[in-house]
Structure 1
Amino acid sequence: MINNSKKENVDTYDAIVIGTGVSGGWAAKELCENGLKTLVLERGRMVKHIDDYPTMYMDPWDFKHREKQHPKEIKNQPKQSNLWNGALTKPATKHWFVDDLKHPYSETKEYLWLRGYHVGGRSIMWGKQSYRLSDLDFEANKKDGHGVDWPVRYNDIEPWYDKVEEYIGVSGENLGLSQLPDQKLEPPMDLNCVEENLKENIANNFEDGRLLTIGRVAHITGDKEHKGRSKCQFRNRCMRGCPFGGYFSSNSCTLPAAEATGNMTLRPHSIAYEIVYDDTLKKATGVKVIDTETKEKIFFKADIIFCCASAIASSSILMQSKSERFPNGLGNDSGELGHNLMDHHYAVGASAQVDGFTNKYYKGHRPNGFYIPRFRNLGDNKTDQKDFVRGYGYQGSASRTNWQHAVSELSFGKDLKEKILKPGPWTIGMGGFGECLPYHENKMTLNYDKLDEWGLPTIDFDAEVKENEIKMREDMRDQAVAMLKAAGYKNVQGFLGKAIPGACIHEMGTARMGNDPETSVLNKYNQVHSCKNVYVTDGAFMTSSACQNPSLTYMAFTARAANHAAKEFKKNKNS
Structure 2
Amino acid sequence: MANYNIDADKALTYDAIVVGSGISGGWAAKELTEKGLKTLVLERGRIVKHVEDYPTMNLDPWDMELRGGLTLQEQDKHYKSIRSGFVGKDIEHFHANDRENPYTEVKPFLWVRAHQMGGRSLLWGKQTYRWSDLDFEANARDGHGVDWPIRYRDLEPWYTYVEKFAGISGAPLGLKQLPDSHFLPPMEMNVVEKAVRERIEKNHPGRNMIIGRVAHLTVPHNGRGQCQYRNRCSRGCPYGAYFSSNSTTLPAANATGKLTIRPFSIVQEVIYDDVKGKATGVRVIDAETSEVIDYKARVIFLNASALSTTQIMLNSKSSRFENGLGNDSGELGHNLMDHTYRVGAMGTVEGFDDRYYKGRRPNGIYIPRYWNIDAASKSDKFVRGFGYQGGAGRGGSRAAANLPEYGADFKDKLVQPGPWEFFITGFSESLPQHSNKVMLNPDVLDKWGQPTLSIDAEWGPNEHALNQQAEEDAVEMLERAGLKDVMGFNNNHEMGYGIHEMGTARMGRDPKTSVLNGFNQVHGAANVFVTDGACMTSSSCVNPSLTYMALTARAADHAVSELNKQNI
- TM-score strictly above 0.5: yes
Kept in 1: contact 2:347–2:423 (CA 8 A): yes
Matches within 5 A, 1:160-559: 160-207=158-205, 209-223=206-220, 225-227=221-223, 229-381=224-376, 383-405=377-399, 407-409=401-403, 411-559=405-553
Kept in 2: contact 1:405–1:411 (CA 8 A): no
Kindly tell me: are residues 197 and 37 of structure 1, through their superposed partners in 2, closer, same or farther at Cα, counting changes over 3 Å?
same
Which residue is equivalent to 1:73?
A: 74
Kept in 2: contact 1:404–1:410 (CA 8 A): no
In the alignment, the residues of structure 1 paired with residue 11 and residue 253 of structure 2 have an alpha-carbon distance, to the nearest angstrom, of: 19
Matches within 5 A, 1:99-138: 99-138=97-136
In the alignment, the residues of structure 1 paired with residue 404 and residue 548 of structure 2 have an alpha-carbon distance, to the nearest angstrom, of: 49
In the alignment, the residues of structure 2 paired with residue 539 and residue 469 of structure 1 have an alpha-carbon distance, to the nearest angstrom, of: 20
Unpaired runs of at least 5, structure 2: none
State the shift of 1:243 in Å: 0.6
State the shift of 1:410 in Å: 5.3
SS at match of 1:81: helix
Which residue is equivalent to 2:95?
A: 97
Which residue is equivalent to 2:59?
A: 58
SS at match of 2:293: strand
State the shift of 1:70 in Å: 3.8
How many residue pairs get aligned? The number is 567
Kindly tell me: are residues 391 and 17 of structure 1, through their superposed partners in 2, closer, same or farther at Cα, counting changes over 3 Å?
same
Kept in 1: contact 2:314–2:332 (CA 8 A): yes
SS at match of 1:522: coil
Kept in 2: contact 1:33–1:258 (CA 8 A): yes
- Give 1:11's aligned amino acid: L
Kindly tell me: are residues 80 and 354 of structure 1, through their superposed partners in 2, closer, same or farther at Cα, counting changes over 3 Å?
same
In the alignment, the residues of structure 1 paired with residue 282 and residue 515 of structure 2 have an alpha-carbon distance, to the nearest angstrom, of: 19
Match of 2:154 among 153, 156, 166: 156
Kept in 1: contact 2:521–2:529 (CA 8 A): yes
In the alignment, the residues of structure 2 paired with residue 117 and residue 391 of structure 1 have an alpha-carbon distance, to the nearest angstrom, of: 33
State the shift of 1:497 in Å: 1.1
In the alignment, the residues of structure 1 paired with residue 145 and residue 125 of structure 2 have an alpha-carbon distance, to the nearest angstrom, of: 28
State the shift of 1:408 in Å: 4.1
- Give 1:107's aligned amino acid: E
Q: TM-score, normalised by structure 2?
A: 0.98
SS at match of 2:271: strand
Identity %: 56
In the alignment, the residues of structure 1 paired with residue 497 and residue 273 of structure 2 have an alpha-carbon distance, to the nearest angstrom, of: 38
State the shift of 1:569 in Å: 1.1
In the alignment, the residues of structure 1 paired with residue 277 and residue 351 of structure 2 have an alpha-carbon distance, to the nearest angstrom, of: 70
- Give 1:421's aligned amino acid: V
- Give 2:319's aligned amino acid: E
SS at match of 1:285: strand
Deviates more, 1:388-397 or 1:413-422: 413-422
Kept in 2: contact 1:509–1:544 (CA 8 A): yes
SS at match of 1:404: coil
SS at match of 1:333: helix
SS at match of 1:473: helix
Kept in 2: contact 1:89–1:95 (CA 8 A): no
In the alignment, the residues of structure 1 paired with residue 148 and residue 404 of structure 2 have an alpha-carbon distance, to the nearest angstrom, of: 58
Kept in 2: contact 1:21–1:120 (CA 8 A): yes
State the shift of 1:411 in Å: 4.1
In the alignment, the residues of structure 2 paired with residue 203 and residue 59 of structure 1 have an alpha-carbon distance, to the nearest angstrom, of: 39
CA offsets 1:29-66 (integer angstroms, 9 cap, x no match): 00000000000000000001011001011112211222
Kept in 2: contact 1:11–1:299 (CA 8 A): no
Deviates more, 1:388-397 or 1:288-297: 288-297
In the alignment, the residues of structure 1 paired with residue 471 and residue 405 of structure 2 have an alpha-carbon distance, to the nearest angstrom, of: 35
Kept in 1: contact 2:397–2:416 (CA 8 A): no
State the shift of 1:568 in Å: 1.1
SS at match of 2:422: strand
The root-mean-square deviation of aligned C-alpha atoms, in Å, is 1.2
State the shift of 1:71 in Å: 4.1
Unpaired runs of at least 5, structure 1: none
CA offsets 1:406-426 (integer angstroms, 9 cap, x no match): 524454322221112211110
State the shift of 1:295 in Å: 1.2
- Give 1:185's aligned amino acid: F
In the alignment, the residues of structure 1 paired with residue 10 and residue 467 of structure 2 have an alpha-carbon distance, to the nearest angstrom, of: 54
In the alignment, the residues of structure 2 paired with residue 515 and residue 411 of structure 1 have an alpha-carbon distance, to the nearest angstrom, of: 70
Q: TM-score, normalised by structure 1?
A: 0.97
In the alignment, the residues of structure 2 paired with residue 471 and residue 73 of structure 1 have an alpha-carbon distance, to the nearest angstrom, of: 38
